Structure 1
Amino acid sequence: MTALSAMTEPHLIDVMPRVRGRLTADAPLAPVTWFRVGGPAEVMFRPADAEDLAVFLDALPDEVPVTVIGVASNLLVRDGGVPGVVIRLGRGFADIDAAGTDVTAGAAALDLNVAAVARDAGIGGLEFLSGIPGTIGGALRMNGGAYGREMRDVLIAAQGVDRRGARLTFTAAEMGFTYRHSAVPDDVIFTGALLRGTREDPAVIGARMDDIAAKRADTQPVRARTGGSTFKNPPGRKAWELIDAAGCRGLTVGVAQVSEKHCNFLLNLGGATAADLETLGEEVRRRVFDRFGIMLEWEIKRIGLAKGDAR
């Protein structure tokens, strides 16, 4: 490519459909991820609401890849950035309402906030969400769970938009929930959910939430640059126990480290790259496999291109 052609070649943002939300070219992603690493999004789209999202997806050319992120608490963005469009749901998808024993929540609502609204309304059974550092959309996609409960225990229905812009609703049975997985097609972007709990005393619910918060603070590096649980638990085993027994506690690659407090967490000690963190994770997997014959499966979602890869 000549210098002139590079100057005149249109950016992807120049061919985007008209929207009511916000489109941003070459949007930095590292500042919004918990790891604080990774390259930019070629285009970032923040839709105004579900209708804006549906119209955009319907008009978007089929060849443009689409990636969805939430608060990026369980996400590793590679250093070369993410080609195509990255969609991040915001305020238009963050409403939470409680009535009776039901809670309706937008996909961008923080899990902790949903648990707090349920508590204040005297709706028990949702407090496990306070132990998941993410959004309802992410919890739907991966059947998020903590402290003995999962989304499949409380979900009544989920709403979403597919790559063609069709508005869809899924019953709990149609979600196809298994351990840390939903069978809903990957091109569906969740926009909201209806959850159901049970009537309980807010003080009792609050005490359970306080207990969850205390346990997290005692056992997890909650104030570090991390991505949450790195690997799924293999059937009948605990990932952290396998990692520890394989001698990986405190293991480093550059300034990326396996947490000494909870060794199923990777840490950016300051200045790590996404490549450092991914290399460290793969070394952990190799050591666990060599020791136990078990290949750990990534729970953290890894997206984008390695530095230097062509878009």
Structure 2
Amino acid sequence: MTTLPETRGRLTEKKPLSDLTWLRVGGPADWLYQPADREDLAEFLAVLDPIVPVLPVGVGSNLIVRDGGVRGVVIRLGRGFNHVEVGDGHVRAGAGALDAQVAKRAAAEGHDLTFLRTIPGAIGGAVRMNAGCYGTYVKDHLIEVTVVFRDGEIATLPAEDLKLAYRSSDLPKDAVIVEALFEAERGDPDELTQKMTDQLARRDETQPTKDRTAGSTFRNPAGHSSTGRADDTHDLKAWKLIDDAGMRGARLGGAMMNEMHSNFLTNAGDATAADLEELGERVRKKVYDASGLTLEWEIMRVGEPAPE
């Protein structure tokens, strides 16, 4: 493989990515790169041979890494990217900051980003996927993001440039989000804390938070919301389509569609990435056969299958 540039960060060869994903599956990355800060990241990308593919990942909460691993460089942001600054109706957060921690830090200082509290993962992924909960989305609060492009350029982009929609954005896949600025309504810290407590209780009653999942597996079908907005809460739910197709509790190897919430693909023991992805595809076929609707993956699937 091409010689990699020098860095103040950390480079690890043949790093098993199963250690870094919530589903605990997947082969190794050729290289895992953990930059020291945004300048280190920019300098590294500017010098890295353009033929080497790069893949930014977060904390692996919404990710299946295939069993053959990922070629090129996987970029994972750590300590240099987990800052949270709150003040004057705004919250500035590093892309590596956990969504839940941003929500709690903001609430403690009287700023309402409580919708982030129950969203698994980190801010970078939340922005890229326009994450949302209980009818509120990143799009509703985001002002701008700072990114590092593949050629090392650092740029600040207004939220409208991202064209955020339901679980999607137009940000290039190899652009690395390093920071996001949000606007937040002011509120009483105690009331915001209680609101988050109630949200957690509601989530734990309906979702398998103790199991090995990657959050919602499939997007709710587009064009089936009460308001017609593509990024609004959808009336027709993926879990209902899965249930109607008889796939709640379906299994393949160590993979299972969760009994508690059928839109949660679960590693029930010793699943491989191939088990999980194939079960997901079987669910999609069954749903299409039963309803004529095609479920779209919400979980990212990356890398190569295991060699024959």
Normalised TM-score (structure 2) = 0.95
Find 1:203's aligned residue among 175, 190, 194. Answer: 190
CA distance in 2, matches of 1:241, 1:170: 37
1:111 alignment partner in structure 2: 99
2:284 alignment partner in structure 1: 285
1:225 positional shift: 0.8
CA distance in 1, matches of 2:157, 2:126: 15
Q: Deviations over 1:124-174 (max 9, x none)?
A: 2x1010111010000111101111100000101100000000001111111
Decide which moves more: 180-189 or 193-202.
Answer: 180-189
2:37 alignment partner in structure 1: 49
1:187 positional shift: 2.3
2:256 alignment partner in structure 1: 257
2:162 alignment partner in structure 1: 175
CA distance in 1, matches of 2:73, 2:203: 34
RMSD of Structure 2 on Structure 1 (CA): 0.9
Q: Which amino acid aligns with 2:122?
A: T
1:216 positional shift: 1.2
- Spell out the pairing of 1:1-311 with structure 2 (5 A cutoff): 12=1, 15-124=3-112, 126-235=113-222, 236=224, 237-308=236-307
1:34 positional shift: 0.4
**Number of corresponding residues:** 296
Deviating 4+ runs (over 6 angstroms): none
CA distance in 2, matches of 1:152, 1:224: 29
Matched position secondary structure for 1:185? coil
Matched position secondary structure for 2:96? coil
Q: Deviations over 1:89-109 (max 9, x none)?
A: 000000011012111100000
Percent identity, please.
51
Q: Which amino acid aligns with 2:7?
A: V
Matched position secondary structure for 1:140? helix
1:178 positional shift: 0.7
Q: Which amino acid aligns with 2:300?
A: K
CA distance in 1, matches of 2:33, 2:238: 35
CA distance in 2, matches of 1:28, 1:55: 25
Q: Which amino acid aligns with 2:94?
A: G
CA distance in 1, matches of 2:188, 2:10: 42
2:233 alignment partner in structure 1: none
1:271 positional shift: 0.7
Structure 2 stretches of 5 or more lacking a match? 225-235
Structure 1 stretches of 5 or more lacking a match? 1-11
